[in-house]
Structure 1
Amino acid sequence: MAAGGSAIRGSRVGSGPMGEQDRGFHAERVQISYWDALGNETVRSFSANVPDDEIPATIDCPSSGLPAGRDQENPPSASKLEPYKTHLAYVKERRSDDEATELLDEALLQLRTRRGTATAE
């Protein structure tokens, strides 16, 4: 064996036996099942001393992204999905056509002034 090497490769000097009793106290847990509209089950663990009203009624299912509830027979329905909006769509919601024209004219005037091609009005 090389000088300074460990007899058990990957162990640290002074490390004791690895076992459940050496890892500390483990809190009691309860397993709660959640189901989504596709029938996927997701199980979450919660501390046994957490009141039932603090355990969430719905979660997002990691496999489908749909909401999942605790009632297998009546899973929550998916909320209305909003279509993807572009930046321009959001701007159009906030600005009227007149405001957009005015802002465009101001921006063009600034650009032409910087380039030295602005015309006197």
Structure 2
Amino acid sequence: MAGGNAIRGSRVGAGPMGEAERGDSAPRLHVSYFCASGHVTRPAFSMDAQIPESWDCPRCGLPANTDADNPPPPPKIVPYKTHLAYVKERRSDAEAAQILAEAVSALRARRAAGEIIY
């Protein structure tokens, strides 16, 4: 035996930790949650805790509820809109053409006056 140290790799207080040393665990309730992708999640709750109606699926992130036959639908994904998309919602094509014509005429007037425009 090399070194003869019987407690190598352990620390003070280390040892088997069982129910006798820790005490009894609190009674738990396992609740099944079902998502639209067909995943089942079973988190454990304390018996006296308030059980939430919905739970996020840890696999796909969709919302889940306790009704296996009617899981909640996936949330609607709103696509990203650019600034131009918001402008097109506010302005008609005729208004856009008028604003562009005004901007071009103002730019041409500044150039005609000799102003340097970058």
TM range (shorter): 0.5 to 0.7
- Give the length in aligned residue pairs: 93
3-state SS of the aligned residue for 1:12?
coil
Q: CA deviation at 1:24?
A: 3.3
TM-score (norm 2): 0.60
- 2:75 pairs with 1:79: yes
Letter in 1 for 2:36: A
For 1:8 and 1:90, how far apart are their aligned partners in 2? 68
Mark the runs of 5 or more structure 2 residues left unpaired by the alignment. 91-95, 100-114
Identity %: 43
Distance 1:91 1:2 in 2: 76
Identify if the C-alpha distance between structure 1 residues 82 and 69 changes in structure 2 by more than 3 Å, giving closer, same or farther. Answer: same
**What does 1:24-35 align with in structure 2 at a 5 Å threshold?**
24-35=23-34
Alignment of 1:60 with 2:59, yes or no, is no
Distance 1:65 1:12, change over 3 A: same
Give 1:92 deviation, angstroms. Answer: 7.4
Q: TM-score if structure 1 supplies the norm length? A: 0.59
Gaps of 5+ in 1: 99-117
CA RMSD of the aligned region, Å?
A: 3.1
Listed one character per residue, the Cα deviations across residues 20-79 of structure 1 (whole Å, up to 9, x for unaligned) are: 3212341111000000112110001110012xxx31111111111111110001101111
Letter in 1 for 2:56: D
Larger Rg computed on CA atoms? 2
**Partners of 1:92 and 1:25 in 2: CA distance:** 61
